[in-house]
Structure 1
């Protein structure tokens, strides 16, 4: 039970730190008009480079990460059932 309390406190602290950093940065970006630059960057046509396989590489990387998370969850759940 104490480990659950410890993880809950740690996650609350990390969330607080993240919000402390993200909220002012977001307010600064909104006041400077940076959101307009982002919208224009999204609307502009993308130039294709010579490396056309990079989106495929990104998809493979994403699948590897998701597979690793699923594998970790399966291994953790198996260790709990043995007790």
Structure 2
């Protein structure tokens, strides 16, 4: 059980670090230069059908980030076992 708790705390630290390093500055930038108003207007004018090109790129970006986090966790756990 201790091993699971250590792994969970490390995973939570990685996710928290990623959120603080990536999402918070991007949100602050978007809120400060009028992009929020542009996003609201784009959401109102968005067509209702189809997944769209940006949806595909968003999916790829999300998969890349999730894969990078999983890879980081695997590499960290493998390096700790060798010691």
TM-score interval, normalised by the smaller of the two chains: 0.3 to 0.5
TM-score (norm. length: structure 1): 0.48
Highest RCO, 1 vs 2 (Cα 8 Å, sep ≥ 6): 2
TM-score (norm. length: structure 2): 0.48
Find the structure with the greater CA-based Rg: 1
